[in-house]
Amino acid sequence: MSTTTPDDVLLVAQDLFAAMVDGEPGTLERWPGPPADLADPVNAWVDAGGAQGVRTVLATDRTTAVALARSLLALGPDEPVEAADIRDVLGELVNVVSGNLKGMTPGTGLLGLPVVVLGPPAVDGALLRESHLRWRGSRLVISTWNLGTRGTTR
């Protein structure tokens, strides 16, 4: 996945959000301003194996994570969003992004299962790409990390 570009990430994410989150294109775009730290972050990631492990991380703030969970699980405005709902939805979103990016780099190996952390990420590797995106006014950050030869271990 080291050969993918920020444009690849944007296109994959736009396809995902158009097809499965919003049901229409045009809701996801590049973040227009300078990046800033996410408040109350939620991080989801999936590792792909192969000769060199690559981790794809989707990060956003807690409020946006709740909105995404509400959307994909079709929860009503009065229905509570549990931590398990956030883990389910963020995990699936990063799974789809990671799988499609992996598909652009054959030989990367199978995907692992998603990990979602309500807090800072646990990444020990070299940053390959970072894309800052805007969804309905909120920020999403998709990054890929080279984990070296550790494969899918954390």
Partner 1 sequence: MRALVIDDSRAMRRIVAGLLEDLGFATTQAGDGRAALDALDRDGVYDLACIDWNMPVMDGLSFVHAVRERREWRGMTLMMVTTESEHDQIVRALAAGAHEYLIKPFTPDAVRAKLDLLGLLPREETS
Report the interface residues with partner 1, using CB under 8 A. 15-16, 18-20, 69, 72-74, 85, 88-89, 91-92, 95-96, 98-100, 102-103, 106-108, 110-113
Tokens for 37? 């730290």
CA distances from 35 to 19, 115, 131, 139, 143 (A): 26, 24, 10, 9, 13
Least Å distance, CB 52 to partner 1, is 16
**Nearest to partner 1 of 34, 107 (CB atom):** 107
Least Å distance, CB 33 to partner 1, is 27
**Nearest to partner 1 of 8, 15 (CB atom):** 15
Buried b (16+ CB within 10 A) or exposed e, 3-26: ebeeebbbebbbebbeeebeeeee
**Nearest to partner 1 of 111, 128 (CB atom):** 111
DSSP H or E segment with residue 141: strand 138-146
The phi, psi pair for 34, rounded to 5°, reads -70, 145
**Nearest to partner 1 of 20, 126 (CB atom):** 20
Least Å distance, CB 83 to partner 1, is 13
